Structure 1
């Protein structure tokens, strides 16, 4: 080609490329608000492997740990071996944990010395398909009969709040508070003096149910007229604006209340554990586990020296203690979402609940395909300064507190995204969270405080007493670090089954770029979608809500509410609270559809919740809470229950009719003069 001539093919190629870039940019701008844009799941490592170590519960620390036949006996010994190599890493270092139970007596601690270096990772993972269990519990043995129905055993554990009998959580001794007749600023007036003779009175715990929290406050001392409660916890439980306790709904942790099967009581003075078994339980063979270690794993750096490039895969964390609610005067008083109120010298403040598995100032962290169960508080916590990290394919179930907790609640004035304390770029994906918050019922499935660019996507969350996902903190219009958070494609159901004023998805405060889309929420005892106070700068679209007490509660208040984009949501019913809904949004929603109806968005439902790769996490016949009755996720499996319910109702009607007929005939025999009138009435009743 001569100089100055235009290559037509090359020119078309350039034009096509420019057109493609322009169209792609437009598509991203248009569809990003609708949930198609979130943090990408990290690609499985293709790095070379520099070294492999093996650990087994039946191994020995005198072994070199370099092959499966000579494993270390402790995880801490493997840590030492890894630390000796990380300074000159030329590939990943993998520590394989063989199956079995790793009983620990103290917290497993990781710091920046455990980091991967030179762009490579340190990986702690299960070997093959085996299940390594990191267990903080101890077995209680040698049970003897204390009375005809109660058994007793000694334990050297100082204190605990749960026990597990044959794998099932037992109920701490519990009774009614029906003798409480009045409430004052110091405590409660009682109708009798029964509590004056109770043992270990400062261990007795009153449980209160207000609107969105369930405070637990311990007794201080009692007189013949009054029950005085521990301060300042009792004061805090009574001064929480719209949510404050009055009379207790029940009482726990008194030997004198030990009267029902499956109840237990621990006497801290004598170190004796008492248990009343079910009639078919044999205490000579029963396995009773008591949690001992409070934090099973702590991985923490600091703002200038973070832990980096570390992974935990295929591990199971089980049996953890939590004793903060037992501390005198602190107890358990939550503001919301298991965020606790307490006094620091001369001022009161709030703090996050502790966690059984805890990360702080960690970067490039991966937690994958792990299980968290029978834990005494929040299961997993990604706290201050955790960045560029992911939690994928995990099962979080049967725990006492919140499922997954992210960020802080005390960073209200922080606005710099580059500050090392910022919790940002977090992916929570394909996790199954169920039956959590058993003891601390104001907990959340996934809770995020002051966070930036987190993605909570494709999770299945069920059976919770309060909210499914909560994002944001502060109740404030001011701009903070909160920005570009994404909550999409989650399946949330069986929630709000104990407390009120929460929802499937709940948000707070100014969050520019917040995207709540393509979620499916049903069987909520309160709200489905709930942008609460000052929520603004957000998008709520293509969500599906049905079988829920109230589909949408827009309580964002003030003019900021109009800065939220609420469009194309499939809402089965019109919002119950007209003061928390803007009628101008009516035309932008799709109303009145439920499963089975023409036009019901099955395409959204089928793409919400855990993806196929991790569907094995959810049992086929999962029971979940319905706001009318328990329901099975498998409709066919639910047929026996529905038949039983129908037959029960029919049986009741038939019995009622037969009894009524007998009574009428008896009256006829006794009062011949009225027989004709009664027969006429009976004929009318039949008709």
Structure 2
């Protein structure tokens, strides 16, 4: 089993410079545009290059990250081989005064207007991109969707039907999703197809596997309910990600198969200058070791891909996780109400929880044999 730091596709892990007292270490320097294998202050290397260099070191090692955005197309992984040698430690930290950011988002540029009547712009993205989120200048855009509780739908053996025949004319039907808010659950399934029926209406066939799991073959365990049980997907609260629904300012449509992102700018937005971020990488940092990683000045993140947790903020399609603030109340009789820093032993050396943990300074554990903690499932929330 592994202890994983799991943070959603469209997130940021922010490191804050922290002094590590008592270390006489080799220092490897990293930057977002680092290259080569020297890993010096004058010639920094890439993050993964430094990690691989650490594996060859024999003593204490510090990896210092310079400021900037480290764009990750896959998770940065740290395993048992990245632990310190017996009697030695490995520390990842921000360089003094620097603010490195891990981002799982793709920055999108090169928008051109493709529909003057609806003010729709389009830009290229990597083919196969998948995301339900987009951020423009730090503001979350809405995935194109229908009105809430669209009228006229009824349930069939394979999905839904309606007398409205216009749905059958929609393009990229397999990228369309139906969403159902039912009691305490939100369920969503992609469509397999939309066909015109004999009466001129539209039959929406839901992906068979998703339909089976959420409608046809849902267990009924009785009380207490669980995530796999009732209620079922038996209605449509809204429909998402259809190009034909696009036209409202602040909405986007992603055609991942063709590699295009469509967006209707809000008043005042200039897409030639805007910072457009499309989150695509769900896991940013994953650790697996002989025992959980210890850390200094850490923030515990318990959320899933779209769930903020204590100490977590979201900007420009990314999650910013700041270092924890460890404080103790001012002594009785002290005029100042400002809390004072707590000893590191109170804030930073408590046992690592089995939930996801994001750290401002990550210290790889010394190698030892011990059982791994059980990894808890991360909570989910409605999109």
Same fold per TM (> 0.5)?
Answer: yes
- Cα distance in 1 for residues equivalent to 2:287 and 2:314: 16
Does the 8 A contact of 1:208 with 1:214 survive in 2? yes
Does the 8 A contact of 1:314 with 1:371 survive in 2? no
- Cα distance in 2 for residues equivalent to 1:374 and 1:300: 29
**1:420 equivalenced with 2:371 (yes/no):** yes
Does the 8 A contact of 1:121 with 1:311 survive in 2? no
Q: Rate the CA distance shift 1:371–1:108 in 2: closer, same or farther, 3 A.
A: farther
Question: Residue 196 of structure 2 is aligned with which of 218, 224, 232?
Answer: 224
Question: Residue 48 of structure 1 is aligned with which of 23, 26, 31?
Answer: 23
Aligned to 2:172: 200
For each residue in 1:355-374, what CA deviation from the matched residue of structure 2 results, as whole angstroms up to 9, or x when unmatched? 99xxxxxxxxxxxx887767
Q: Rate the CA distance shift 1:309–1:166 in 2: closer, same or farther, 3 A.
A: closer
**1:109 equivalenced with 2:81 (yes/no):** no
Q: Rate the CA distance shift 1:153–1:266 in 2: closer, same or farther, 3 A.
A: same
- Cα distance in 1 for residues equivalent to 2:78 and 2:296: 12
**1:84 equivalenced with 2:59 (yes/no):** no
- Cα distance in 2 for residues equivalent to 1:376 and 1:220: 31
Does the 8 A contact of 2:103 with 2:318 survive in 1? no
**1:443 equivalenced with 2:376 (yes/no):** no
Q: Rate the CA distance shift 1:78–1:422 in 2: closer, same or farther, 3 A.
A: closer
Aligned to 1:213: 185
Q: Rate the CA distance shift 1:119–1:45 in 2: closer, same or farther, 3 A.
A: farther
- Cα distance in 2 for residues equivalent to 1:312 and 1:158: 38
Matches within 5 A, 1:68-147: 68=41, 70-85=42-57, 88-89=58-59, 92-147=60-115
- Cα distance in 2 for residues equivalent to 1:76 and 1:263: 36
Does the 8 A contact of 1:111 with 1:307 survive in 2? no
Give the aligned CA root-mean-square deviation in angstroms.
3.9
Structure (1/2) with the larger helix percentage: 1
Aligned to 2:281: 293
- Cα distance in 2 for residues equivalent to 1:138 and 1:309: 29
Aligned to 2:331: none
Q: Rate the CA distance shift 1:130–1:296 in 2: closer, same or farther, 3 A.
A: same
1:51 Cα deviation (Å)? 2.1
Aligned to 1:173: 144
Aligned to 1:264: 252
- Cα distance in 1 for residues equivalent to 2:313 and 2:38: 29
Does the 8 A contact of 2:70 with 2:103 survive in 1? yes
Q: Rate the CA distance shift 1:373–1:152 in 2: closer, same or farther, 3 A.
A: closer
- Cα distance in 2 for residues equivalent to 1:138 and 1:63: 28
For each residue in 1:6-50, what CA deviation from the matched residue of structure 2 results, as whole angstroms up to 9, or x when unmatched? xxxxxxxxxxxxxxxxxxxxxxxxxxxxxxxxxxxxxx9654333
Matches within 5 A, 1:642-653: none
- Cα distance in 1 for residues equivalent to 2:100 and 2:262: 31
SS at match of 2:49: helix
Where does the alignment leave 5 or more consecutive residues of structure 2 unmatched? 1-18, 198-202, 221-229, 322-349, 360-368
- Cα distance in 2 for residues equivalent to 1:109 and 1:256: 40
- Cα distance in 2 for residues equivalent to 1:277 and 1:355: 23
Does the 8 A contact of 2:139 with 2:316 survive in 1? no
Q: Rate the CA distance shift 1:102–1:276 in 2: closer, same or farther, 3 A.
A: same
SS at match of 1:63: coil
Q: Rate the CA distance shift 1:192–1:97 in 2: closer, same or farther, 3 A.
A: same
Aligned to 1:244: 232
1:180 Cα deviation (Å)? 3.6
Which of 1 and 2 has higher RCO (CA within 8 Å, sep 6+)? Answer: 2
1:131 Cα deviation (Å)? 1.0
Question: Residue 158 of structure 2 is aligned with which of 159, 175, 186?
Answer: 186
Question: Residue 152 of structure 1 is aligned with which of 101, 109, 122?
Answer: 122
- Cα distance in 2 for residues equivalent to 1:294 and 1:48: 34
Does the 8 A contact of 2:127 with 2:257 survive in 1? no
Does the 8 A contact of 1:119 with 1:309 survive in 2? no
Does the 8 A contact of 1:172 with 1:252 survive in 2? yes
The alignment of Structure 1 onto Structure 2 pairs a total of residues equal to: 302
Matches within 5 A, 1:649-660: none
